[in-house]
Each structure stands twice: as C-alpha cells, then as structure tokens.
Structure 1
C-alpha cells in the first residue's frame, strides 16, 4: 500500500514504456535507466503508448 507521506521523490519515465515487462522488467529499467535503487521510498511512473 502506498502512503504519500513515505514517498521522497517522484520520477517520471519519458516516452512510452512496454508495460508487459512486469514488475521485474520495470525494476531493471529503474536500475539501468535512472541508475537508482528500485526499492527506495521513491515513486516511479511509467506510461504506455495510449495515454488518455
């Protein structure tokens, strides 16, 4: 469960992300793309191609 008090920062991924990667694939994107630890108290936001 997310608690907005515990979130330090919010990171937005630019462009479209293939959300079929599952949580493990997205964690790799955070590690390699953002060069951050995916288990920190940050929120990472990804969008697919159909943003409405």
Structure 2
C-alpha cells in the first residue's frame, strides 16, 4: 500500500480542515427497512459516487 500524499490524516474526524471545498447535504430518500437496505447496498456498491456525477 502506498502512503497518503496529504498532511491532514484523520482530520475529518472533527472539524473539517481549511483549504478544501466542503459539501454536506442530507435528503430523506424513502422510509422503511427495505429502503434502508437498498440505500446501504447502493452505498457499498459505489452507486452513490457514480450517481453524483
């Protein structure tokens, strides 16, 4: 494994570091266990990143 190339290792565990564009959003995507499981599957499969553009 290669070492990381940035100094802020672990910085997102608290206040986000300056010098970066930060984006935080929330949305209710549906309700219920089935919706939760579908969202979890999509997240783990990388679908969230693909759909974000």
TM over 0.5: no
User: Larger % of helix: which?
Assistant: 2
Between 1 and 2, higher relative CO (CA 8 Å, sep ≥ 6) is seen in 1
> Which of the two has higher C-alpha Rg?
2
